[in-house]
Amino acid sequence: MTDNATIVKEVKQHLASLGKICDSGYLLAVHIRYTRPSLMFTTYPAAWLEQYGAAGMMMVDPVVRWAMSDQTTGGFARWNDLAADDAAGVVAGAAAHGLHNGLSFAIGPIASRTIGSVTATQPFDPVAITQAESLIQAIHDLTEGLDQMPAEVANALRNIG
């Protein structure tokens, strides 16, 4: 088990490594309980996040539907493979904001799922996919029990970025 004093440092290191793999951005919704993540980390453009939120796209996002399905038990999905279930044009909207070659990971049990979505200017090769998944899994594991952590650790994690 990782000591509380090193959790924030390790999460920052993992996010920095993820940023090197995902040169056009990532978004991690960590330990989603009900409909709200315990933590959110993103490098997506602010304009896209604003449009996504203002239009309530989470409710129609095929990535969210896939990742939060009881049928999804882990792994990843390429955004292009989910496009057929994207009547609202969420994937196209992301692309219009420079988010290409997207793929998303579903990590953890449905009651505390982490969705990690990553994008890059070039398609991800198998090595990069494995690295991204490992980093997202590590962040998921490190932040398990956030509500049990000292307030200063939880607040520091919430303020990363």
- pLDDT confidence bin for 70, thresholds 50/70/90: confident
Asked if residues 42 and 27 have their Cβ atoms less than 8 Å apart, the reply is yes
Question: Residue 111 class from Cβ within 10 Å (0-12 exposed, 13-18 middle, 19+ buried)?
Answer: exposed
pLDDT for the residue 83: 86
In the chain, what is the straight-line distance between the N-terminal and C-terminal CA atoms, in Å? 24
The structure tokens 């992301």 sit at 94
pLDDT for the residue 78: 97
- What single letter denotes the amino acid at residue 7? I
Query: pTM for the complete prediction?
Result: 0.94
User: What digits encode the pLDDT tens for the residues 94-128?
Assistant: 999 999 999 999 999 999 999 999 999 999 999 99
pLDDT for the residue 35: 84
Asked whether residue 1 carries a pLDDT value surpassing 60, the answer given is no
User: What digits encode the pLDDT tens for the residues 127-152?
Assistant: 999 999 999 999 999 999 998 999 99
CATH of domain 24-153: 3.30.450.80
Three-state DSSP at 125 gives: coil
Where is pLDDT greater, at 35 or 158? Answer: 158
* CA dist., res. 114 & res. 18, Å (int): 15
Beta bridge partners of 37: 32
Number of residues that make up the chain: 161
Asked whether residue 2 carries a pLDDT value surpassing 70, the answer given is no
User: What digits encode the pLDDT tens for the residues 20-57?
Assistant: 999 999 999 999 998 899 999 999 999 999 999 999 99
pLDDT for the residue 147: 87
Residue 94's nearest CA partner among 106, 108, 80, 112 is: 80
Beta bridge partners of 106: 115
Q: In 1-150, where does DSSP find H-type helix?
A: 4-21, 46-54, 62-67, 79-82, 90-96, 126-142
Domains of the chain, residue spans: 24-153
